[in-house]
Amino acid sequence: MPKLEIHQFPCLSDNYGFLIHDPEQQVTATIDTPEVAAIEAALSEKGWALTHILNTHHHFDHAGGNLELKEKTGCHIVGPRAESARIPGIDTQVGDGDQVSFGQFTAKVFDVPGHTSGHIAYWFESEGVAFVGDTLFALGCGRLFEGTAQQMWTSLQKLMALPDDTTVYCAHEYTQANAKFALTVEPGNDALVARSEEIDRLRAQGTPTVPTTMGLEKATNPFLRPMSQNLQETVGLVGRDLVDVFAETRRRKDNF
């Protein structure tokens, strides 16, 4: 079976667009619709015709291009059931545990509420690839606009259960700012210090830091590390419930 082809490109000021393509069945999806012109340019560069949109959540930089792309291409829109009223042009509503067929590939859907109330992630198990929208970022996580810290921590734990070698596609290039914050809450994490230096090198060259991997995030992302003694000490919550440590870490980032 040929591999799922993935093409990543910048959109807007700090979003990433992703096209996925099955060369055998000639189907192409955009993960979210941050910027129509950038998506169209990417499609023509690759010579692919859009057949699907897979939405992660309703925010404008994720679903704002849905209707224009659907009008132009007749593509089929898949999105979160729990936000269906806020996903323009949605055709198929999906939620936790559902399977989405895309050519010869299948994505498993996870409900990952917290950033928005119905946010979903798509996991292509055979490809070892996950599209996580604004739930998990490289060294960060989404702001809690519509959910609680408990909901977000539960969502992040679902993603942490994926294999360490899972390639994780996040929707924004926030990594360098995230690293600066991460170092303030877990300064004793040598892997984080090393990664932060590597990120500075990459960004100085204009190189994306996305995708990341689940293993790297588990080792360095403070929002996945409330169990870290060093982090617990820094935020002053040694031995407390992990959700409390997570909530305090998120609160500090909001005010960073």
Using the minimum distance from each CB to Fe ion, give the nearer residue, 13 or 207. Answer: 13
Alpha-carbon span 95 to 119, nearest angstrom: 9
Q: What is the dihedral of CA 35, 32, 72, 5, to 10 degrees?
A: 100
- Return the closest-CA partner of residue 22 out of 50, 44, 41, 64: 50
Alpha-carbon span 72 to 53, nearest angstrom: 13
* Total chain residues near Zn ion (CB under 5 A): 2
**Which segment (59-67, 83-91, 190-198, 226-234) binds Fe ion by CB under 5 A?**
59-67
Using the minimum distance from each CB to Zn ion, give the nearer residue, 29 or 63. Answer: 63
φ, ψ for residue 157 (rounded to 5)? -65, -35
Residue from 35, 111, 134, 186 that binds Zn ion (CB under 5 A)?
A: 134
For the bound state, the minimum distance from the C-beta of residue 142 to Fe ion, rounded and expressed in Å, comes to: 8
Give the pair of three-digit tokens for residue 83: 């936000």
* Total chain residues near Fe ion (CB under 5 A): 2
Using the minimum distance from each CB to Zn ion, give the nearer residue, 107 or 112. Answer: 112
First to last CA, the chain: 46
Is 19 within 8 Å of 6 (Cβ atoms)? yes
The binder of 248, among Fe ion, Zn ion, none, by C-beta within 5 to 8 A per type, is none
φ, ψ for residue 36 (rounded to 5)? -60, -45
Query: 119 in helix, strand or coil?
Result: coil
For the bound state, the minimum distance from the C-beta of residue 61 to Fe ion, rounded and expressed in Å, comes to: 5
Residue from 52, 58, 59, 225 that binds Zn ion (CB under 5 A)?
A: 59
Residue from 22, 32, 61, 217 that binds Fe ion (CB under 5 A)?
A: 61
Known catalytic residue at 58: no
Structural element, H or E, at residue 254: helix 242-254
What are 170's strand-pairing partners? 133
Q: Confirm or reject binding of residue 111 to Zn ion (CB under 5 A).
A: no
Stretch 133-172 residues interacting with Fe ion (CB under 5 A): 134
* Dihedral sign computed on CA atoms, order 188, 194, 197, 203: negative
Catalytic residue among 21, 58, 62, 119: 62
Per-residue binding letters, 178-207, with Zn ion (x by CB under 5 A):
------------------------------
Residues near Zn ion (CB under 5 A): 59, 134
Residues near Fe ion (CB under 5 A): 61, 134
Catalytic annotation, residues: 57, 59, 61-62, 115, 134, 172
